[in-house]
Every structure is written in structure tokens, then in C-alpha cells.
Amino acid sequence: MNTPGMKPTQPSSLVRADDRLSFLYLEHCTIGKSSSALTATDENGVIHIPSATLSVLMLGPGTRVTHQAMCVIADSGMSVIWVGEQGVRYYAHGRPIGRNTRLLEAQAKIVSNTRLRLQAARTMYEMRFEGEDTSTLTMQQLRGREGARVRKIYREMSEKHSVKWSKRDYEVGNLMASDPINIALTAAHTSLYGLVHATIVALGCSPGLGVVHTGHDRSLVYDIADLYKAEVTIPIAFEAVVAMQDLEFTIDELPTYTRRACRNAFKQSRISNRIVADLKTIFLPDEAAAAEDESWFEDSVIHLWDNLHDRVVGGTNFEFDS
């Protein structure tokens, strides 16, 4: 008896990850199927999307997806992520494009081993410290240096833009219960969290298994976002407060202005590509070839765990060994 539904494509016939386009963002349209391709339809017409060559489809506000379109998406090995405008918020995701759990297993191994976790934390802090040697620092020393660095950045931004700065002060769930700079910082950081979260799940990593942060379902999101705040979101927040004064828009419009500035900066700097590279550097530090060879990433071969040999090939009828 034949299995109902469309016949799935074999992984070997799919376009390799390193030969695909990275992300496609769509909003205010209906996504459907035409032959074996996806279509995006709005009041301006229809465009055809080469689904076999796309890694991640990001669905923004106002998007609708037909059942047939989802079948094509699933068969092509594409990830789907539901996001806010231009990816500045993360809502949910479908199956990640990564079929191989190598990166996820490396993440779990590092988080579960004190020595490896400290080494990964040093790597992450060194990314922020602009080449400073962190190889002998304890977690306490790393946190101290990071605290001093962040205070210096806020002080420099305050002086540069003539924006009054006291401290980071915000109320969870009440964005507007603060001063303008803290409102802008919260909006900017939230935008960054969304893009980082989307990239993490697209790679098949666990957002909850953090290195520095722990105990939260977005611990890794906060870890990775911290790599870019000083360079991206903190300057954007201070510039947004200045723009509010110069362009004379209200404080109620400040979060929206900030999110749009983040959206443009993320797109121009291709920060999602950096997130992918940095995750590999943190979790696979001894495998430089992984940055160039993506074949392991989409390998869908299933192995069996073995306590003596780590893993053995699956799909084999093993004989009982007495």
C-alpha cells in the first residue's frame, strides 16, 4: 500500500547548505504553491520563490501560508521562523535546517563540563574584549572586566551624544516605565534577541543551554546577543534618543523608531552570518573545517549510541553478542 501524500525528497538530492541562499523575509502576503515552487502573492502580484535553494524563510506580519506550501517547505529542507517586522522579534519556528546534531551535541557537552564551559566562556569574553588574553581568567575576573567595559561604553556613548545616563533601569513587562535611553535600550536589545533566537533555532541548537547565562529558556540567546550589544544596539539606542529630540517625535514613538533602526542595521551588517560563525567558533573551536564544509550540517544519517565506540551505524540488524 502506498503512503498517502507527496513522496519526500531524498536528502542526497537536496541543495547543499553552503550552496543555498541564507534568509528570505516576507510580510503581508499569502505564500502558496505553484508546481514545485513557492509563491508569494500580494496586491502587487505574484513572485516565485526557488524553495530548493533557500535555507530559512522568515515570516513577518500579515503572512498566510497554505497547507501545500508547508509541504513544499518541509520537503525542501527549509526552516520556517515566525518573526516580527524584519526579524526583530522571534515567535516560533519549524524544524531546523540542520539535520545533524553535531553542533547541538557539542553545545550540550560544553555546558555539562566545567572545564570546557569555562573555556567557552573565555572565548566569548575574548570576542568582546578586542583581543585581550582571557586564557587564565576566572569567571569572577571575566565578569568584573565585562562590567567595567560596559560601564565605559555607556559613559562614552553618553558623552558622545550628550544623553544623560545614570544606570540600566527597566521594568519587565512595562517598556515605558523608564527614561528615554532605557526605553530605547530595551527596544534595541529585544530586537537583537529576536534575530539571535531565530538563528540559534535555525542551526538546531538549544536556546536554553547557555554558557555564561543559565537557568532560563533563552540563556544562549542572551549569551550570543551580548557579543554584539556594544557594537550595534547600544549605539543605536543613544542615536535614537538624539533623533527623538532632533526630529521631534514623541516618546511613545521611540520604541518603533529604535526597532526600525535595528532592522536596518542588522540587514546592512549581515549580522546573522556573524552569529552562525560565532556559534561554530564557540562550540566547535577545534574544527576549523566546519566553517567551510557544510555537508556535516545537513547529513541526516542516524547513528546508534555506543558506550565503547561512541556511535555505530544505524539501520543495521545487529546480532546478539553473548
Measured CA to CA, the distance from residue 243 to residue 259 in angstroms comes to 13
**What H or E segment, with its residue span, contains residue 48?**
strand 45-49
CA nearest to 122, candidates 104, 110, 109: 110
Phi, psi at 5, each rounded to 5°: 95, 175
The answer to whether the CB of 184 falls within 8 A of the CB of 237 is yes
Q: Is 226 annotated as a binding residue?
A: yes
What grid cell was written down for 25? 523575509
Q: Is 303 annotated as a binding residue?
A: no
Measured CA to CA, the distance from residue 120 to residue 301 in angstroms comes to 28
Q: Is 213 annotated as a binding residue?
A: yes
DSSP character for 174?
B
Residue 136's Cβ-count burial label (10 Å; 0-12, 13-18, 19+) is exposed
Binding residues for Mn(2+): 146, 213, 226
Binding residues: 146, 213, 226
